[in-house]
Amino acid sequence: MSYEEFKKKMESKQAVVGVIGLGYVGLPLAVAFAEAGYRVVGFDIDTTKIDSLLKGESYVLDVESEKIKEVLDKENFLPTSDFSKIRDVDSISICVPTPLRKTKEPDISYVINAVSEIKRYFHRDLLIILESTVYPGTTEEIIKTELEKIGYKGGEDFYLCFSPERIDPGNKKYALKNTPKVIGSITKKSSKLAYLLYSKIAETIVIVSSPRVAETVKLLENVFRAVNIACVNELAMMCERMGIDIWEVIEAASTKPFGFMPFYPGPGIGGHCIPLDPQYLAWKAKAYNFYSRFIELASDINANMPRYVVAKIIEVLNSYKKCINDSHVLILGVAYKKDVNDIRESPSLEIYKMLKEYGAIVEYNDPYVKEFRDEKGDVIRSVILDYNNLRKYEYVVLCTDHSCYDYAEIAKRAELIIDTRNAFKGIESKNIYKLGTPVY
């Protein structure tokens, strides 16, 4: 197939689109392509996910089961664990996890495994787009180099791009369609093909000069957030000591119409992006004898916020002549952010663990997270939130500010509240102690 024929196939939606990894990034992408009129093959090694999708059941909060049923009924979407079907696709987007090892080194084994499957069933005229967050250079070093080792030429036999995912789980305002899509490719032809494909599902396409630039775009976005969150977390600790309410400070500073963007303190950072992505950039920079002090400092401050929250809990209890050991506590929210069911890197889990280590009797409620496994592998289940029975707990710790909680009712009925998110804003009560405000 000539390049011109490939372009026409992509533009006319005759191309078959593949997506490897059907998690919170890959599944919305696959469904978006299917809704746009492409035939989509979704690949995942987790057969329970495939079984769920074949039944029309979604496990991703931002993708309704009804949408899965619709694209299945139209025969536009085929979920499968059979990677030999790579032979049938014209493009393939890689949306697999890229976690950190315990040593804080990037773990790109999922990307490597995906590339191994592509090599195994490779055919010419294949557009490959990596969406997983990686360090600068990965697209060319891991994909281009590996395919060229087996005799194929990038830009001729296959086309290669990096396009960072910008999914914000639970965001009702910005989704795949109205969030600009950045694309960096190894050749102009690769850029054009990716543009023709992604312009069918995204309103704005931003073409940059190379995959390395696109890879760094994603990392910069989350370094920016991590550093600014760390800054306001440190200011929150400072304001507590100085007897100043950080939330009032931020609200007043936000009235400035230029030169200021509000960030808010909290119990720590969670999710897949902010805690991990900056470490990818810091790790890669060391290969160039460059040490990113801002990234390392921000990581230290944010990682220690759960410990700071527990220290504040101890201080509050001490002011009431209470002991944390054998105290009965209810944690509200264990998801890493409001109105989602994702607990990856959630600071709430670290707070839960530390309270247990101090001898507290800990229960939690989260309407989005019915259960989780602790470090021992034991299943910990969410308890029913009975507003009338909150007095059974000596204190309540608000870790995740889900919209469904009745904060006025909690304030009225709980004995003590430690609020890490300013969720009780505007509620006057002497029993509420906020992160970033003095105890005494």
| Residues annotated as catalytic (active site), given as ranges | 273
- Give residue 113's region: left, alpha or beta (phi > 0; psi -120 to 50): alpha
Is the separation of the CB atoms in 194 and 129 below 8 Å? yes
Angle between helices 347-357 and 305-319 (to 10 degrees): 50
Q: What amino acid is encoded at 33 in this protein?
A: F
Q: For residue 191, give every residue at least 6 positions away whose Cβ sits within 8 Å of its Cβ, in sequence order, or none.
A: 161, 183, 184, 185, 207
Q: For residue 342, give every residue at least 6 positions away whose Cβ sits within 8 Å of its Cβ, in sequence order, or none.
A: 24, 61, 169, 270, 271, 272, 335, 336
| Angle at alpha carbon of residue 114, lines to 112 and 115, rounded to 5° | 65
| Spatial separation of the C-alpha atoms in residues 38 and 12, rounded to whole Å | 9
| Spatial separation of the C-alpha atoms in residues 21 and 9, rounded to whole Å | 24
Cα 140 versus chain centre, distance: 24
| Spatial separation of the C-alpha atoms in residues 126 and 108, rounded to whole Å | 22
| Spatial separation of the C-alpha atoms in residues 146 and 64, rounded to whole Å | 37
| Spatial separation of the C-alpha atoms in residues 219 and 106, rounded to whole Å | 13
